Chains A and B, each alone.
Chain A
Amino acid sequence: MTRSPGPRAAQSVFKMARLLAFLVPISIQSCYLFRQADGWLFGNFSLFSALSKSTRDTRYSIYGARQGEGAELRLDESAYWAPRDTRYSIYGVRQGEGTELRLDESAYWAPLDLIRIRAALVLVARASKDDEGRFLEALRERYRLNAERGRHGGPPLESIRIYRVTYDWTAGVDHPTIERTLVMER
């Protein structure tokens, strides 16, 4: 008398399915070792992988001649040159007094984080004025809600201003110069 192979076959299929469930995601993720493409769930986690913006544009090799001895010194290092960074910065205008308050802090906007807000600002700036307005309105609402929920102690706002700010720390991290241009207000 032979026993039915049913349960054993089912067990073997189950084990094979589990092995596939194990191997397939690992194989897909392994592919990203060899290609530069970021995605969600699979990707190559390229956060901070680029060189500083200031040095990426350095195409010529720069040498300086030392005073006195005249020997050459290679200066292709970002430490010698003006590191610059330009990004969106969010300001709020206080209700009543009209003074500005810088709001580049996640607590004001949670669950939106600053990286996402900046990415969104790029997208709405490319879209229409309506979208821009809707997004700033959504930000103001977020600010108000988070204040109500006790996530931050910021004052009530009259409006939100988005500046494009360029930081330049040629003279060192302790002596930066900052230029800003107003790009949106609501």
Chain B
Amino acid sequence: MSFSRLAADLLKRNTTASPVDLGVMRCWVFGLLFVHYVRHDFAAFARLPTVLWRPPFWLRSLSMEFFEPSRVEALHGAWLVLLAFACIGLWVRISGLGALLVGVILLWFENTIAYANAKDVLIIWAMYALAVLSTPDQLSVDRLLFRRRFEGASRGAMLDKGEFFAIHFVRAMLALMFCCAALSKLRTSGIHWGTNGTLANLFAAKALTWDRSPRLPGLAEALARHPMWCDVLARGVLLLELSAPLVLVSQWARRLVAPALFVMLASFWLLLGISFPMTLVCFVFFLRFGDEMELPASDQTGATGPPRVVFDAGSRWCRACVRCFEKRAASKSLEFTPADDARADALLRDAHVSWSRGRRWLLLKGNTAYRGSAAFIEMLAIMGGVWRLGCLLYLIPRCLRDPLSSRRGA
């Protein structure tokens, strides 16, 4: 077994993703970058005195005059166009790579003026993952415009495009970032960082020095009055940051540590007014959007026939949807079977798929089984026409979408 195969197997074991997932992540990352930077005035940095220009030693020959305001404005405009294209998935390879390249130039330029801010670093790695390690073409305009190119692609081929690399890469960089931050605290200050009121002092300084960045007023002041609580909080922060690498190897850690890290970063914003919006966006790589599984080669029940749907007949919502689908999709011939029907049992047994009443829907299409709300979205896609817009529901994380759809069915 080659080294690359071994690495790929290891990644696949720890990153169970559906091809849809990375497509949705592409929409979120590039879309939110567009929203965040659409009003950002990069040219303002080009108008500052050249004494503030602090490039790394290997780029000292490059003068700040190269970044004249009009040139920076043009780059900014180009970046926004590329981000928009990458978000909707138009010429996804070119737009993704272009957005990465122009984004790195602009953000590097900004961070070479007076002070290098580490806030933007992770979003650059997210763009890198989406443009270099994988080119997610799910949920893209490309799929509508160049349908023929995608028709022959099997699910296996889709999965071999680096989704696992991309997702695992961003998670690894995020985990390393937090771990580095914790080790940096321990190296600089030792365990005293969490025992002698440093956090309380930080809160007091923030409250008194009155940097009126957007934050919850009074919260930092209130915490500063209780140094003991702040120390407990500081030790919690250290522990959480040190445990960040666990998200790479344990599903439980991904469920506990990743949300806790997200809340910690968001709390910095609320308490200290120090925001990490683009780092928060990178937590999208911990979410799941699709819910599908490949059927064993011998059990590809739906491979030849029409797509088959097993639904919860006890739910009024499901029954109403089925009636609507049957009325509108006569030509598409979806085959519906209530879950309590004997035919459904046979179908599920043949396909080696288990049925869960809580998920309401199961769709067997080709060599793939879709479950829960993902099955419902795929049914909308099969209907065609404007119903295909239902695919936008994929943008809602599965952990929110599934409970919503099952409650609706109750």
> Footprint of B on A, CB under 8 Å?
15-16, 18-19, 21-22, 25-26, 29-30, 32-34, 36, 38-52, 54-55, 76-79, 83, 85, 87, 89, 102, 104-106, 110-117, 119-120, 123-124, 127-128, 131, 134-135, 138, 141-142, 145, 165, 167, 169, 172-174, 176, 178
By a CB distance below 8 angstroms, the chain A residues around B56 are: 39
B108 touches A40 (CB 8 A): yes
Q: Are A45 and B116 in contact (CB under 8 A)?
A: no
* Interchain Cβ contacts under 8 Å between A and B, 8 examples: A19-B7, A29-B173, A33-B176, A40-B111, A43-B121, A54-B201, A112-B44, A120-B52
Contact (A79, B132) CB under 8 Å given A18-B165, A169-B208: no
List the one stretch of B181-189, B255-263, B290-298 in contact with chain A. Answer: B181-189
Total number of B residues with any Cβ neighbor in A under 8 Å: 72
A22 to B173, CA, bound (A): 10
A124 touches B173 (CB 8 A): no
Kindly specify which of B144-152, B190-198, B360-368, B389-397 makes contact with the partner chain. Answer: B190-198
Query: Measured between alpha carbons, how far is A115 from B181 in the docked complex, in Å?
Result: 19
Interface of B, secondary structure class, is helix
Contact of A26 with B184 in the complex, beta carbons under 8 Å:
no
Interface residues of B (CB under 8 A from A): 3-4, 7, 40-42, 44-45, 47-49, 51-52, 56, 108, 110-118, 121, 124-125, 128, 132-133, 162, 165, 168-169, 172-173, 176-181, 183-185, 187-189, 192-193, 195-198, 200-202, 204-205, 207-214, 221, 224-225, 227, 273
Given contacts A106-B211, A112-B45, 16 further A-B contacts (CB under 8 A): A21-B133, A26-B173, A45-B118, A52-B197, A78-B200, A78-B227, A104-B209, A111-B41, A111-B45, A115-B115, A120-B48, A124-B52, A131-B49, A145-B41, A173-B204, A173-B224
Contacts of B183 in A (CB 8 A): 33-34, 44
Whole-angstrom distance between the Cβ of A130 and the nearest chain B Cβ: 8
Expressed in whole angstroms, the minimum distance between the Cβ of B270 and any Cβ of chain A is 15
